[in-house]
Structure formats: structure tokens, C-alpha cells
Amino acid sequence: MTGQRLSFGRLVRADLRHNRASFAGVAVAIFVASILVTGLGVLVESGIRGGLAPERYTQVDVVVGSPQYVDVPEDMPLPLRERAPLPADAAQEIAAIPGVESVVADVTVPLVAGDDAAPVEAHPWASTALTGFVLREGREPASANEVVVTAVTGEAVGDAVTLSHGGVAAEYRVVGVVDGPVVPERANHVFLTEGRIAQLDPHGGAAQVLGVFTAPGEADRTADAIRDALPGVVAQTGDGRGDIEFLDSGAARATLIAIGSAFVGTCILVAMFIVAGTLSLSVQSRRRDYALLRAVGASPKQVHALVAREVLSIAVIAALAGIAPGYALSTVLQGAFVSGGVIPGDFALAVGPIPAVGAVLLVLGAAWGAARIAARRPAKLDPIEALRESATGPAASGLPRIIAGIVFATAGISVSTVPLVVRGENAAGASAGAVIMLIVALALLGPWLVSLSVRLIGSVLRRMSAAGFLAAANAAANSRRLASAILPIALGIGLGLVQIGAPAIMASEAAAQAQAGVTADLRVTASAGLSPAATEAISSIPGVSDASGIAITSAIIDSRDFEGKVQRGEHVLQGVDPATVDTALDLQVQEGTLAALDGGATVAVSTDAVQTLGVGIGDTVAGRFGDGTPLEATVVAIYERGLGFGDLTMDVEAVREHTTAGLDAFALVAVDDGSLDQVRTALTEAGLTPTDAGGQKAAGADAQSQQGWVGVIGLIVILGYIAIAVINTLVMATGERSRELALLQLIGSSRRQVRAMMRVEAVLVAGISVVFGVVVAVPSLIGLSIGISGQPIPALPVLPSLAIVGSMGALALLSIWAATIAAMRTRPIDEIGSRQ
């Protein structure tokens, strides 16, 4: 057995030594997979351990807040977009815990300063203890019109400053200037009296965050005691304090985990697909070797072991080499997500060894699985059949494979029709599932479809020229080899078109609904939102017939799947004034009436949400508001334009009550005939921003934009990997034909004719790839377009679509051209001699 193992090891080393070019392609595919998985793994780990370091809460030992998430059964928690309220008696209970020296409450009220509308955050004076701010000059505020500013603003004691809240301006006198060890970067901060904060805050100045000071060295023990005493709160120390200080930290964590996990899974699947394809080329190029092994008595198990050891020998090196570039990639991805507003710019990545270890294990597992797939054919063949195949090439696709491909194709086309009867997120999910099924069908039927396509096109090519005749003959004889080059390109085109097409279709319809559904004349905004007082002031402007405040937030709603299990999903929640909504919006109400909206006990739902939640008029919608407060409301209306205005609509006062700032996003203003210019001027003079109401953005458009940006980044990553794999595959496939190209020259073909033949083949590969890729994407996109907008022609972004199709097609042309030049550098007689 020792001698057998030694011989087996020598055989592996000999194979690696004599087939360097073949294994180089496999190594490149695994190397790139390791880079991607490592980089994405860093994002996942950052979602678990990374975050935002505290800015203002640097001088307090423990920071206490409410949980900013809702648990989801058998899934990741959903983040809350609004600040969750603390229990009313939390400060008193915490103060009674042994080891607690003092408790300081903090409240944040958004303001804007001056004509440039710079963001300012106002806090009660007592909260300066949390930040380490101390008076550099002046005194603390004592009356409602007094303010203390930070030194970075440049104001001095005695200056007058104008601060606006919700579009209502007020003048304050600077009575003090503070300075501290840390200069907050996100916004300027001012400090008011506790009474003034209570007047401005829609929640009456109730504590949003509690800062707990403890005895030296007791912070962690006290935090544990707080968690035990108040299970409904979160107590953080160290860098974890930033998670409570910054509301977007938890959302960024959840986003990174979701993005990283989804992309890692996709990358592993694509990697396995590509490595398996590259390996199949490598195995096919050495089918004579495997045939001889089978002929001299090698068992199928030994052939499997040989291929697996060969692959793992190079996979370990390639995977380890990809770790360092993978960590660099995570920084690039972080910058891309920051640019798209997906995560905050100051969110710190967590860099540790876990992503590297995980990437190596996952990539090696994918490589081993790909080796098992690639070795199946040479391992299971009868020795005599193996020798025959080594000379004639593999047989056509088996009947079971063709049947499986037809089943997947039928299922994919059937699922593509789901959006015709199902709306919203379920429709988009069905389209994604359909394209995956069609891609699997293409992978199964690819060799057969390529062979059929080559036969059909070959009859035309043979009549064109000598190069066309040679290309048609070569393609017909080597359709399986062509399929290995065509399928990755088609995969990239199909995935790319659906990835950019589905969000574009949804966004286009959402924008159309938002524009068509606004019946008011003007949309009025203020920098940090509009208060009810500002909306009332707008209503009193001469020429204004109605002004309706619109609040936009989100809600997490419960539903049940087909098995009765609870599901939770996030939905856009819109608040409207039932008394004036008819003059501002036309949501195309199908049943009921929006006038029946009354407080937080009633809700209107979109037709999309009706299908997702399984509710109707008179049913109850249950879940949580954006601040985590329980929501339970009776459905009183069903409307059509959910993509443009959100899935849920409630009374604006009820919605506003459950937002952090307690402000409306904007107001829709109806104007009397002939008064439009006059009203615009009055609004501008009041410090507000009036715009044409026809330019209304869809509710949740920013979130859709962020999701679209994530999709684009993911698409670039996946297509980049596919592009490398395509180049890799085509170079390998063309390079292995150097002997064939040499023989063509020896029997009389000129180098020019051989190059012309390869050009025709390159165009053939590119053309078939584009057709297959488009055909895979079209059913899903057409089904989604008809279901969402009623239009059979999908609203695809033209330039990105052409870029995907053109770039993937150009890859085939350039790769085959470069590989042909390289393969023909050696003289034909020398090439033939080297292969003997």
C-alpha cells in the first residue's frame, strides 16, 4: 500500500508538471473565487463585529437604549428605522442598581441653522456630561431662547443665531461656548434647556438614550446587571456605545450581513459552475491519459481520487494566494457601498482571520465538488469505451440529462408567468427564481443546443468561404468544447439583464405611479422635515386651498406562509391627512375609502400588500411601527398605486407619532387658479422649498436606489468573475487546439485561412452566447413587466443592457483572437513533434 500511495503521488506530480497550462486555468478560477469569498466574508464579519465608534458618548461608561430590531423566526432580525422608545421608568430602575453612580438622559432634536440650512442637533444641557464638553466661556442656558454652542461653529457669547425646527424658525441668544476632547463629524451640536427640548421634541422630551456612570472598572458588570434587570433594553460599553448613538449602525450591520451572505452564496455557486467547466476542459484535454489508466486497471474510485488530489493540490495554493487580495477587495466594496449610501461612511470594517479561514474552506469544498463532477465521466466509462472516447471525443448528451433540462426549462417558463397573477416582492422573487431555473436548463441542455445551433448555422457558413467551411466543420465536431465557452458568457448575460432589468421595471412603474398619483400643485419641503405647525402656516398663505402633510416611514408587518409559519417583512408606511388627502393624492382606491382612516386603528393597504399579507377589507394588519411599537389596525381601503406611495397608508398623526423626529417628510399643496407664482414666492420667503408636485419621488425610492446600487455592485463582482472565467476557458480551449491548427497548416491551409477560420468561430461563439443569454432572461423580464406595469416590453436601461451584452460578447472575440495568436507562434512541424 505504501508503494501504491507513492506511485499515486508521483502520478499526481507528473500530471501537474506536464499539464501546467491546463491546471493554470483551474488555479486562476480558484484564486479569483478565494478573493471574492474573502472580501465578502469581511463584510459579513463586519456586520457582526464592526460598527460605528461613539462620538458624543465617549465619556460615559454604559449607554442604554432600546433594541433597534425585530426578531424574525428562522431568519435574520429586521432593523427598525426609527428610534425605539425606552420604558418610561427605565432611568429610575437603572439608578437603583448597585454600582450605578448617576444616570443622564439624552434627547436629540433635529434643527437647521441659518440660510444655508446646515444640520444641527439639539440636546438638553445635562447631556454635555456624556461627551466631556465643558464651558470655555459663558454659562449654561437658563431660558427657552438661550443656547450653548460648540467652539467649532465660530459663534461667540452674545451672538444671535436662527435655528429652525420643522420649517419654523426661532431666534436664540448664545450664552455659552463649550469645547471637548472629540469634535463630532456628522453634525454640529447645540444645547438648550430641558424645557425647550420638551417643547420642540414631539415626544415631550422623553429620554431616547440613557448614559450610565459607574464606579471605575465596573462598566461591564453594571451593563450585565442592567440587562438582567431590564430585559427590554440594550446596554453597551466600549465601541458598542456607537450602535446606540447612531441609529443607522444597526441597519448597516444587517445590510452587510445580508449582502455578504447572499453574494458569498452566489459566488460559491458561480465558482463551482466555472471551476467545474474549467476542469471539464482540463479533463477532456487529458482524456487519453484517463483512458489508458482505465485500460490498465485503474478503478473509478482511483480516477476520482486522482482528479481530486490534482485539483486540491493547486486549489490550496490558489486559495491561500487569494486571501490578501480579498482583504483589499473588502475595502473597495466598502467604498462602493458608502458611495451608494448603503452604509455610512464612518462604519468601520472588522478585519480578522475568520473570513480567510472560511474562504479557504468554502473554496476548497467547491473545488472538490467541481472535481467530483468533472471526474464522473472518465471514471465511470468502461476501459474499452474510454479508449474509444480518447480518440473520437465524448458522446452526445444522454437522454436523462436532456429530459432534466427540458423539465427545468418548462418550470422556468411557468414560474416566469407568476407575476401575471402575483404582485410586489413575490413577483420579483418569482422572476429571480425563474431565471435560475432557466440557467440550470441551459447548463443541462447547452451541449445539445450548441450542437443544434451549429448544424443550423453551419449550413450557411459552409457556403460563405473556406474559413466558414472550416469553422462549421470544427464547430460541428467539437460542439461540447464550444458549449464550455458559450455557457459562461450566456450565464453572465442572462444574470446581468435580469439583475438590472427587474429593479428597473419596478422603479419605472413606481415613478409613473408617483407622478400620476399626485393631484396637488406643489410639493413643499424643509431641510429636516415639516412640523404640523409649518403645514398649518402653509394652509394660511393666500391662494392655498389645501395643504396636506405626508409622513413617510416603514413598518414591519406579520403574515403567514403556506405552511402557516409567521413571516415578517418591511413595508413603506405613508401617513396622510384623511380630511385633505383627496385634494393631494389619487391612490386609485379599489375598495373602501381613505376618509375612513382614523388614528392608528385603521389602515389602507395596496393591492400588492393584499396578496403578500393575505388581507382584505375588515381584516386586521398586525406588526410593528418603525419605532418598534406594536401595530394592529383594521383594513378600511385597498388602493392600486402601492409602488408609488407605499404598501400601507394611515392617518398622518398616528404615523408621525412613531417617527424619531415627529416631522412630516413634505407637504402637498393645492393652489387656487392663478395663484401659483404668488404662493411659490410666499413659501420661499418663509424659508421653505416649493417644487412642482409632478416631480414627486416614489415612496421608498431612496431604499430602492440603495438596493439597486447593491445589485449593481454585486453584478459587477459576479460579471467580473465570469469574465475572468470566460477568458480562462476560451484561452484554455483554444490553446489545446494548437496541434489541430498545426495540422491544418501542414495539409495546405495558410496561416491567414486558419486565422480567418478562428475569427468565424469567435463570432459564432459570441453570437450564440448572446442569443442564449437573452433568451434565458427574456421570459422572466416579460412576465415581470406585464405583471407590474401591464406592458409586454420591459423598461430596461438601454446603455447598461447594451454594455452587458456587448462586453460579454466582446470577451469571446478578444479571448479567442489572443489565444489563436499564442497557439500559432510555434512552427506547425515543431508543434506536431512536441506532441508526439
Domain boundaries defined on the chain: 1-52+247-392, 62-246, 396-512+700-836, 519-695
Asked if the model's pLDDT at residue 180 lies above 60, the reply is yes
- Centroid of chain to Cα 14: 45
The per-residue pLDDT for 327 is 92
User: Is 752 exposed, middle or buried, given 0-12, 13-18 or 19+ CB atoms closer than 10 A?
Assistant: exposed
Helix (H) or strand (E) holding 287, with range, is: helix 287-295
Pairing of strands 118-124, 188-192: parallel
59 CB-near residues (< 8 Å, 6+ apart): 129, 130, 131, 132, 181
Decide if 796 contacts 706 (C-beta within 8 A). Answer: no
Decide if 171 contacts 160 (C-beta within 8 A). Answer: yes
Can you state the percent helix, strand and coil of the chain, rounding each to 5?
A: 60, 15, 25
Task: For residue 732, name the pLDDT band (cuts at 50, 70, 90).
Answer: low
CA count, 13 A, side-chain hemisphere, 550: 32
Three-class SS state of 632: strand
Q: How far apart are CA 597 and CA 223, in angstroms?
A: 43
Task: For residue 417, name the pLDDT band (cuts at 50, 70, 90).
Answer: confident
Range from 101-105, 473-477, 520-524, 554-558 carrying the lowest mean pLDDT: 473-477
Average pLDDT over residues 661-667: 91
500 CB-near residues (< 8 Å, 6+ apart): 711, 712, 715, 796, 797, 800, 801, 804
Q: How far apart are CA 111 and CA 759, in angstroms?
A: 65
> DSSP string covering 178-192, please?
EE-S---SS-EEEEE
Comparing 566 with 385, the larger pLDDT belongs to: 566
Q: How far apart are CA 807 and CA 726, in angstroms?
A: 12
Task: For residue 3, name the pLDDT band (cuts at 50, 70, 90).
Answer: very low
> DSSP string covering 162-174, please?
EEEETTEEEEEEE
The per-residue pLDDT for 1 is 39
Pairing of strands 78-79, 100-106: unpaired
| Helices (H) then strands (E): counts for the chain | 27, 23
Q: What is the pLDDT of residues 354-384, one digit of tens each?
A: 999 988 988 888 888 877 777 776 767 666 6
Decide if 709 contacts 342 (C-beta within 8 A). Answer: yes
The per-residue pLDDT for 424 is 60
Decide if 611 contacts 422 (C-beta within 8 A). Answer: yes
Q: How far apart are CA 59 and CA 210, in angstroms?
A: 13
Q: What is the pLDDT of residues 451-468, one digit of tens each?
A: 788 778 877 777 777 777
Q: How far apart are CA 278 and CA 25, in angstroms?
A: 7
Asked if the model's pLDDT at residue 617 lies above 90, the reply is yes
Asked if the model's pLDDT at residue 2 lies above 50, the reply is no
Asked if the model's pLDDT at residue 4 lies above 50, the reply is no
Q: How far apart are CA 752 and CA 546, in angstroms?
A: 78
Asked if the model's pLDDT at residue 399 lies above 80, the reply is no
Q: How far apart are CA 479 and CA 472, in angstroms?
A: 10
Asked if the model's pLDDT at residue 835 lies above 80, the reply is no
Task: For residue 704, name the pLDDT band (cuts at 50, 70, 90).
Answer: low
What's the first-to-final CA gap in the chain, in angstroms? 33
Decide if 732 contacts 281 (C-beta within 8 A). Answer: yes
Beta bridge partners of 723: none
The per-residue pLDDT for 511 is 84
Decide if 402 contacts 338 (C-beta within 8 A). Answer: no
How far apart, in Å, are the Cα atoms of 210 and each of 243, 469, 728?
Answer: 13, 80, 58
Asked if the model's pLDDT at residue 416 lies above 80, the reply is yes
Nearest one of 484, 489, 466 to 736, comparing CA atoms: 484
Percentage of the chain beyond pLDDT 90 is 28
Longest Cα–Cα distance in the chain: 101
The per-residue pLDDT for 446 is 75
Cell of 232: 427590554
Decide if 519 contacts 586 (C-beta within 8 A). Answer: yes
Asked if the model's pLDDT at residue 778 lies above 80, the reply is yes
Q: What is the DSSP letter of 518?
A: B
Nearest one of 367, 366, 378, 362 to 304, comparing CA atoms: 378
Task: For residue 78, name the pLDDT band (cuts at 50, 70, 90).
Answer: confident
Comparing 452 with 228, the larger pLDDT belongs to: 228
Cell of 106: 439624552
Tell me which amino acid residue 146 is: E
Q: How far apart are CA 686 and CA 786, in angstroms?
A: 45
Asked if the model's pLDDT at residue 387 lies above 60, the reply is no
Q: How far apart are CA 724 and CA 811, in angstroms?
A: 9
229 CB-near residues (< 8 Å, 6+ apart): 93, 94, 97
Percentage of the chain beyond pLDDT 70 is 85
Range from 29-43, 585-599, 635-649 carrying the lowest mean pLDDT: 29-43
Cell of 79: 432593523
Average pLDDT over residues 672-678: 88
Task: For residue 227, name the pLDDT band (cuts at 50, 70, 90).
Answer: very high
Average pLDDT over residues 728-745: 69
Tell me which amino acid residue 526 is: A
Let me know how long the chain is: 836
Task: For residue 543, name the pLDDT band (cuts at 50, 70, 90).
Answer: very high
Comparing 635 with 304, the larger pLDDT belongs to: 635
Average pLDDT over residues 678-703: 81
The per-residue pLDDT for 192 is 95
Q: What is the pLDDT of residues 484-535, one digit of tens each?
A: 778 778 888 888 888 888 888 888 888 888 888 898 999 998 888 899 999 9
Cell 383594521: give the residue.
634
Task: For residue 323, name the pLDDT band (cuts at 50, 70, 90).
Answer: very high
Q: How far apart are CA 469 and CA 818, in angstroms?
A: 22
Tell me which amino acid residue 271 is: A
Comparing 366 with 736, the larger pLDDT belongs to: 366
Cell of 314: 493547486
Radius of gyration of the chain (CA): 33
Three-class SS state of 697: coil
Cell 440603495: give the residue.
706
Average pLDDT over residues 158-183: 89
Task: For residue 823, name the pLDDT band (cuts at 50, 70, 90).
Answer: low
Q: How far apart are CA 419 and CA 541, in angstroms?
A: 46
Average per-residue pLDDT in the chain? 82
Q: How far apart are CA 526 and CA 666, in angstroms?
A: 7
Strands, DSSP E only, in 100-252? 100-106, 109-113, 118-124, 134-138, 146-150, 160-165, 168-179, 188-192, 209-214, 234-236
Task: For residue 832, name the pLDDT band (cuts at 50, 70, 90).
Answer: low
Q: What is the pLDDT of residues 325-342, one digit of tens each?
A: 999 988 888 888 888 777
Cell of 501: 432589468
Three-class SS state of 525: strand
Task: For residue 560, name the pLDDT band (cuts at 50, 70, 90).
Answer: confident
Asked if the model's pLDDT at residue 833 lies above 60, the reply is no
Asked if the model's pLDDT at residue 5 lies above 50, the reply is no
403 CB-near residues (< 8 Å, 6+ apart): none
Cell of 809: 460578447
